[in-house]
Structure formats: C-alpha cells, structure tokens
Amino acid sequence: MPFMDTAASPLPDDVEALKALLSAALERADDAEARLANARARESATEAMIAHLKLQIAKLRREQYGVSAERRRLLLDQLELQLEDLEADACEDDLAAEVAAARTADVAAFARKRPSRKPFPEHLPRERVVIPAPCSCPSCGGARLSKLGEDVTETLEVIPRQWKVIQTVREKFSCRDCEAITQPPAPFHVVPRGWAGPSFLAMLLFEKCGQHQPLNRQAERFAREGVALSTSTLADQLGAAAFALMPLYRRIEAHVLATRRLHGDDTTVPVLAKGKTDTARLWAYVRGDRPFAGSDPPAALFHYSRDRRGEHPRAHLASWAGIAQAAAYGGYNELYAPGRQPAPVIEAGCFAQR
C-alpha cells in the first residue's frame, strides 16, 4: 500500500475515511515491526552460528595442537559462555519475530535452524497424563466412538528439592517388675552427633567439590529456600564428612598404587587468596590396565597442593615402584634415579602411547 503524505493530502473529515486511514497506518506499522523483528532474529541466528563455528574450530585446534594447554582450555570455556548467551538471544528474537509476523499477512516469520535435541533418557520415569476424550462426536453428537490411536507429547519436568526434618523417636519404657528402664539404641549418623542427613552431606560435598560451588554461595541459596545455615556450620559438616570418607579414600589409594603401570599429571586450580588469586595444583594418578588385558577396575587418585614443588609427587609415590607415564616435569626426576628406594620408577614418555 503506497504511503500517504498527510502534508500534501489533508486528513479527511469523514469518520469512516479516518478509520480506513488509521487501519492502513496500523497495517504498515505492523508490517515494519515484523520486518524489523525478522532482521533482528536473522542477525541473532547468524551471530550464534558464527560463535558455534568458532567454538568448533577452537576444539579442533586443541585436539590437534595440544589437549593440555591451559590457555586453550580457558578460551574454550569463554567461547562456551558466549555461545550460550547468543543462543538464548537468538531464541528470544526468533519468538519475537514469530509473534510480530502473526499480526500481518504479508511478512513470513523467520525460521531459525534450531539445534537438534536427543530423545529423553529411557531410564527416566514416565508419568502418563491422558486428556479426557469427548463422550460424543462433536460433528453429529453420536455416542458410538471408537479409538483409532493416540498422539503422545513428552515434556521434560523436574521436581524441585524439598527440605524436611526427620524426627527419630526413641521411646523409653520402665519394667513394673524390676523398675529397669530400657530404650532402643540411637540411630547411626554419618557424623557422630551430627544433625545433617546423608543425602544433605552428599549434596554439600558434590556442590563443593564436583560443581565448585563455594560454601558461602550454597548458604545464600539455602537461605533463599528458607533454611538459614552459616558458612562456618557448613564448613564444620564438610570437614566431618571428609573425615568419615577417609577410610574409603585409603582403599582407593591402595588400589591405585597396587598397579605396576601408573599415569600421572597435574593441573592448575585457582585458589582465592588475600587480594588476589593463587594458582594451586591438583595431582592425578590414574590406574587403567584394561588396554594391557588387565581385569582390575580402573581408578583415579587425587592429591592437592598449594604449589608445584617436586616434593609433592615424590611424597605421593614414596612407596610405589613401576612404570610411570608422566609429563616431562623435573619434579619427577628423583623418582627415576637408579638408587631410589624401594626401587627406581621406570619412565614412560607422555607420547609413548600415542
């Protein structure tokens, strides 16, 4: 519809003509808004695709030139964060373009190629919600309906965690014959005289060590959920749980160090310090004998230190001897010394199995 210049053509005095003029102006405005929304959606989709390709290129370069390069790992993390923001913006602009295009008949909504989604895992329980079918035919009103099939739409849902207090009651009884008082024994607690249940302790440990969530952030989230726990209280439970798990750690340590072939490496760990961030180290020793036709299960042993001095791997492997595959780090050299006790470690270069 051609644009009408109101300066050259004065507005009509007729109400119906004014309504038609207003309707035409609204139609042009909706058309322009839809085209603008489509342009924004197309631009967002293009930026997301560029970020996705950059991430794929960075991953390929990391695989080709070095998996252990910390700088490349940090670059990948940054690209991942940028990609998720761009994907979210692209989806939002796509939906806005679809809503804007629905108000006009001349502009088609921009169709963005969405990422493919894998089917939901089979192990998840399925809750079947059946929408009631009509009792009679909507067309003729007949009641003789026969089922032909069904369409099933799956929606992924999650049940938020719920806090509860478990009250364990131990009733006391007195004997009327001898006046002796009896009571069942106290239940087992992971932490002696502890107030935290095993599931809560497992969540606390996993969030801290597995998801790298500091205790102060966990305490803030708990407070928003209505459970106020101080950071020092959570730290006390964390230390008690670590003490309770120490026998299991010793069993894993004994299993890992019982092998004759060991893979060792270390990685950086940022640690918050006074006014700055220090770089600590996480030492990993892996046992995996299956490539050598071994039947023992694989396992990994971790040690932590605030620095990378060679005394740490020497202390970790003080009682071990065998074939060690590790990086060309000078801290391992004393392990390879001929006069080392209980026996020298045989060095296997880090490219030995590539």
Mean per-residue pLDDT for 129-151? 88
pLDDT band, very low/low/confident/very high, at 9 (cuts 50, 70, 90): low
For strands 299-305 and 323-325, give the pairing.
Answer: unpaired
Confidence (pLDDT) at 36: 81
In this prediction the pTM is: 0.64
Burial 61-96 (b: 16+ CB within 10 A, else e): ebeeeeeeeeebbebeeebeeebeebbebbbebbeb
Compute the mean pLDDT over every residue in the chain, rounded to the nearest whole number.
83
Mean per-residue pLDDT for 132-159? 88
Render pLDDT for 161-181 as a digit per residue (tens, 0 to 9): 899 999 989 999 999 988 899
| Closest listed residue to residue 253, CA positions, set 192, 194, 190, 302 | 302
Confidence (pLDDT) at 114: 65
CB atoms within 10 A of CB 117: 7
| Closest listed residue to residue 97, CA positions, set 38, 156, 45, 20 | 38
